[in-house]
Structure 1
Amino acid sequence: MAEPKEVPEDSSKVSFWLPGNYQRTVLRTQDSHQACKDIVACFQDRARVEKQYAQQLSDWSSKWKTIIDSRPLYGSLLRAWQCFFSSAERLSTLHSSISQALGSEEGERIRLWQKETFQKKMFYGFRETYDFSMGFSRAQKPWVKKLKKLEKARAAYHKTSQREQTAVDRENQAKGNPNLSEQKLNKIQQAKEKASQDRDKARSRYEKVLEDVTGYAPRYMEEMEAVFDQSQEAERKRISFIKQAFLSIHRHLDITNNDSVKAVYSELHHTIMSISEQDDLRWWKNNHGPGMPTDWPKIEEWVPPVKKQKRGKRPKQEAPDRSVMIGGVKVKALYDYKGEEEDELSFKAGEEFLKIEEEDDQGWCRGVKEGGAEGFYPANYVQLIQ
């Protein structure tokens, strides 16, 4: 029989390494406790089925054995008919013993193991749940603090980057204003320099905090995996016990020599024998533990928003007040831009092309790239090449 394939979980699942996400592993303890209760209840139902079947076989045998005793049959034909009833009595006895084994013997064995394995801790549920939760929490606490510092440094860096961009825009506007006094221009330039210095300081702090987080990551991983490995060992023992319990139940149920029924129990036996502690643990690790992928913290550069108004459909004929450049001037893209409309130009940061039309009152220029691609683009996404 083909081995069942593992079904991948949602790719958007949250990583084990992120704060608090070890809880799925911690909760395996109470899930396993509930699984034991479900197994007992499940096979108690099956025990009732076996008992009812045994009673029905016995009732059927008694009824018809009495009837045929008064019928005019004799010899081998009578013995053959009577054999059906003796076989039914033997099957009735066998199914009664199966019912007793499933309801009492196996159920009591699982309940006893459950009581010994899942020890309670006053006010905290299971002792194992409490111990693993505290272990993960202690291992994760320093990491969480460092992540909070990193997030604060990142926010500060992005905020100063935005202030610097605003100062640069003000400086560019001031340089193009012939009516602005030299004193006012100097103040704007000083503010821009101050904003640049603040941004550099914030980035330096951001890099320093990130270096601290990155340097602590190996210790964090080691401490988390140490607790996780203890959890895996406890789960391995539970899987092993349940496997043995299933095999014991199977031995009670597998009673037939009929080929068609043999096939059913053979498949059941194969499924139970296919239980593998290592495969189950490996699956958990890859889907809920350290084997899960995560995006480790890294520098996230700030990208300015497009300073533009939403453009409607442009008329095919150019407005008379637009300034069209003959030959164009060369510009260089500061950031990536992907055109949202058919008449917009797309480019990558660092790409050079020609500006053939000056900026309009909505913040758009017209440009043409090598190869003939032509379109509009946000003016603050490029700079002139001197």
Structure 2
Amino acid sequence: MSHHSDDQLLQAGSDSFWELNNYKRTTKRIEDGYKLCTELQTLIQERAEIEKAYAKNLKTWSKKWGELIEKGPEYGTTEAAWKGMLTEAERLSDLHLKIKASLCSDVTLQIKEWQKDNYHKSMMQIKERKEMEDQFKRAQKPWAKLLASAEKAKADYHAACKMEKSAANQERNASSDSSMSNDQLKKMQERVQKLKDDVAKSRERYEQTLNEIKEYNPVYIESMTNVFRKCQEMEETRLCFFKNVLFSIHKCLNISEDPSLPQIYKEFHHTINNADHQKDLKWWSNNHGVNMGMSWPTFVITV
């Protein structure tokens, strides 16, 4: 069928929504929505595991280098500056564990609850999908019946045309065949005329079925549109929810907005800034250099 609109003049094909059963792409979208909820939860859980692993790696790295620095040759305020980097890692690790916790407890739970409230899954299918498919079937059933009649009338008309054409060719060939009797020619001519009558009748029936479809099209379009609109409303709800969820994910991941982050680097900077080479050099001189005390050799009397 074609979508009756003067400004659009859309030619329907096998891919058109209005064709039989092509509404199933729209009802499949309902089930796709359910699957997308599950996939989004998996995506978030995987990201949460990445955050957890990163936090663990920071802790492991901090512990390893803490021990190495303690045993190493660095000293004084510069050693403290080294350790400031490890403190930054420890605190950043805590921040990423917080991200992991927020993703799992807040966002994932939010999706899970919404999925449960909006999709009701049975052993076979999603309830909401079945309900919409049933409504589409009811809306399409009368039109499908008219279409079936039109397709049959079309096939009958084309078959009648083919038979009439074949009979006309036979009659034309027979008229130039001297071996054919007048009685035989008359019978063939009568057969051609009968087939022409059949063509006219089948054409009339074919045109009648097309008119019946044309007359019913507005009802069909309205009925299908009403069900389609319900599906669109369901999908609108999902799309808006997903947008809000993605904003929630953004909030979890955007550590630049966490007030503790600038404090971490402010203190890290302060620790580095406290490194004082003069103090360290003086400490070295006092403990390992020229400023150390010395028990100089003196004359010792034998007792």
What TM bracket, shorter-length normalisation?
A: 0.7 to 0.9
**How much has 1:14 moved relative to structure 2?**
2.5
Once the two structures are overlaid, the 10-residue window that deviates more, 161-170 or 67-76, is 67-76
Query: Residue 17 of structure 2 aligns with which residue?
Result: 16
- Could you tell me whether the CA contact under 8 Å between 1:19 and 1:144 is conserved in 2? yes
Percent sequence identity over matched residues?
Answer: 38
Alignment of 1:193-342 (within 5 A): 193-256=193-256
Query: Residue 7 of structure 2 aligns with which residue?
Result: none
**How much has 1:168 moved relative to structure 2?**
0.8
1:47 aligns with 2:48: yes
Query: Residue 137 of structure 1 aligns with which residue?
Result: 137
Which structure 2 residue ranges, 5 or more long, are not aligned?
1-11, 258-303
Once the two structures are overlaid, the 10-residue window that deviates more, 84-93 or 73-82, is 73-82
Query: Residue 98 of structure 1 aligns with which residue?
Result: 99
**How much has 1:74 moved relative to structure 2?**
4.0
Code of the aligned partner of 1:247: F
**How much has 1:180 moved relative to structure 2?**
2.3
**How much has 1:83 moved relative to structure 2?**
1.7
d(CA) in 2 for partners of 1:125 and 1:163?
49
- Cα–Cα, structure 1 residues 221 and 124, in superposed 2: closer, same or farther, change >3 Å? farther
d(CA) in 2 for partners of 1:47 and 1:13?
45
SS of equivalent to 1:17: coil
Query: Residue 262 of structure 1 aligns with which residue?
Result: none
d(CA) in 2 for partners of 1:222 and 1:12?
20
- Cα–Cα, structure 1 residues 123 and 36, in superposed 2: closer, same or farther, change >3 Å? closer
Code of the aligned partner of 2:64: K
- Cα–Cα, structure 1 residues 45 and 13, in superposed 2: closer, same or farther, change >3 Å? farther
**How much has 1:186 moved relative to structure 2?**
1.6
SS of equivalent to 1:202: helix
d(CA) in 1 for partners of 2:19 and 2:30?
21
- Cα–Cα, structure 1 residues 83 and 188, in superposed 2: closer, same or farther, change >3 Å? same
**How much has 1:181 moved relative to structure 2?**
2.1
Code of the aligned partner of 2:37: C
Query: Residue 160 of structure 2 aligns with which residue?
Result: 160
Query: Residue 190 of structure 1 aligns with which residue?
Result: 190
- Could you tell me whether the CA contact under 8 Å between 1:124 and 1:130 is conserved in 2? no
Code of the aligned partner of 1:186: K
SS of equivalent to 2:255: coil
Query: Residue 83 of structure 1 aligns with which residue?
Result: 84
Query: Residue 58 of structure 1 aligns with which residue?
Result: 59
Deviations 1:22-63 (A, max 9, x none): 112112122111111111122112211211111111121122
Query: Residue 345 of structure 1 aligns with which residue?
Result: none
- Cα–Cα, structure 1 residues 216 and 123, in superposed 2: closer, same or farther, change >3 Å? farther
Deviations 1:282-305 (A, max 9, x none): xxxxxxxxxxxxxxxxxxxxxxxx
**How much has 1:204 moved relative to structure 2?**
0.6
Query: Residue 341 of structure 1 aligns with which residue?
Result: none
**How much has 1:73 moved relative to structure 2?**
3.5
1:69 aligns with 2:70: yes
d(CA) in 1 for partners of 2:138 and 2:123?
20
Query: Residue 127 of structure 1 aligns with which residue?
Result: 127
Structure with greater Cα Rg:
2
- Could you tell me whether the CA contact under 8 Å between 1:160 and 1:195 is conserved in 2? yes
1:180 aligns with 2:147: no
1:25 aligns with 2:26: yes
How many residue pairs end up in the alignment? 246
Which structure 1 residue ranges, 5 or more long, are not aligned?
1-10, 258-386
Give TM-score, length-normalised by structure 2: 0.76
- Cα–Cα, structure 1 residues 61 and 26, in superposed 2: closer, same or farther, change >3 Å? same
- Could you tell me whether the CA contact under 8 Å between 2:16 and 2:22 is conserved in 1? yes
d(CA) in 1 for partners of 2:149 and 2:219?
18
- Could you tell me whether the CA contact under 8 Å between 2:13 and 2:19 is conserved in 1? no
d(CA) in 2 for partners of 1:151 and 1:173?
33
SS of equivalent to 1:100: helix
d(CA) in 2 for partners of 1:125 and 1:134?
13
Give TM-score, length-normalised by structure 1: 0.60
- Cα–Cα, structure 1 residues 13 and 101, in superposed 2: closer, same or farther, change >3 Å? farther
- Could you tell me whether the CA contact under 8 Å between 2:49 and 2:100 is conserved in 1? yes
Code of the aligned partner of 2:63: S
- Cα–Cα, structure 1 residues 176 and 92, in superposed 2: closer, same or farther, change >3 Å? same
d(CA) in 1 for partners of 2:202 and 2:13?
32
Once the two structures are overlaid, the 10-residue window that deviates more, 70-79 or 244-253, is 70-79
d(CA) in 2 for partners of 1:182 and 1:28?
69
d(CA) in 2 for partners of 1:191 and 1:148?
30
User: Which one scores higher on RCO, CA 8 angstroms, separation ≥ 6?
Assistant: 2
- Cα–Cα, structure 1 residues 12 and 87, in superposed 2: closer, same or farther, change >3 Å? farther
d(CA) in 2 for partners of 1:32 and 1:163?
53
